[in-house]
Structure 1
Amino acid sequence: MISFLALHAPLARAALAYFTCCAGPPALSELAYVKRDAALIFEIAESSLVMNFTIEFFRSRPSDEAHATLDRISIGADNLNAATVKAKSLFDTLDMPQKPDGLRILDQVKRELFVWKPDNHEV
C-alpha cells in the first residue's frame, strides 16, 4: 500500500519548511492538534485508496451470447484482484432467483474490467 508520505511528499516538505523556517517548531500545546490532524489526514488518504467496483451476475444464451443481468452489487476493494476474489466468492453464495452463468466487474464509470464464466472444472 502506498504510504501517506509518498502520496503527499510535497505537502510534507512544505509543512516541514514552514515549521522550521517561518513559524518555528510547534509549541507543546499545539502538538496534540498536529497529531490529531495528521491522523485524520492519514485516515482520509488510506480510505481514498479503496476503489468502488460493481459486480454483475448474469445468465447468457449460448446461441448468441446475449446476457441477462440477475443481480448487481457494489463493493469496495483495494484493487481489481481483491474485487475478483470477492466476486468469485459471492458467485455461489449470493441468493439469486437463478444460478448465474458468469460475472463481470465494472469500475465506477461502468467500464468492463473483468469477465468470468466458470468452466466445469472450477465449480
Structure 2
Amino acid sequence: MHRQEILDHVRNIILSTNSGLFPDDVSEFASMTYDLGMDSFHLESMISRLKDEVADIEFTPWYIKASRRGHDTVGSLVDFIDERLSQSPSASTSQTQAVDISPAEQGELDVEAA
C-alpha cells in the first residue's frame, strides 16, 4: 500500500468516525485532537478500524509519541503506518509460504497418515 492510499484511507476513517468534519478539514497537517476535535473515543475507534482494514500493527508507540509532543497529526499517523508496513513482510507472502508444501513434504505426510 502506498503512502497516498494510506492517507486516503485514514482520512475516510476519520470522516466516518467523526460526522462533524468536512473532507477539507482533514489535511495532513491537522492535529487530530486540537484541529479535528477528536477525543479518546474517536481515536480508539479510528485505531481499531485501521487495525482491521489496513494492518494489524501496534499503534501505542505512535500514540505515546504524538501525545507527548503534541504531534498527533494525520500525516504523522500516515508516516507511522507506512513505516511499519514497509518493515514487515507482506501478509500475502507469509500466507503463500505457509500454504506451500513441497512434493517431498506431501509424501512424508502420506506416510505418516498411513
Whose relative contact order is higher, 1 or 2, with alpha carbons under 8 Å and at least 6 apart?
2
Q: TM-score, normalised by structure 2?
A: 0.32
Q: TM-score, normalised by structure 1?
A: 0.30
- Which structure carries more strand by proportion? 1
- Which structure carries more helix by proportion? 2
Larger radius of gyration: 1
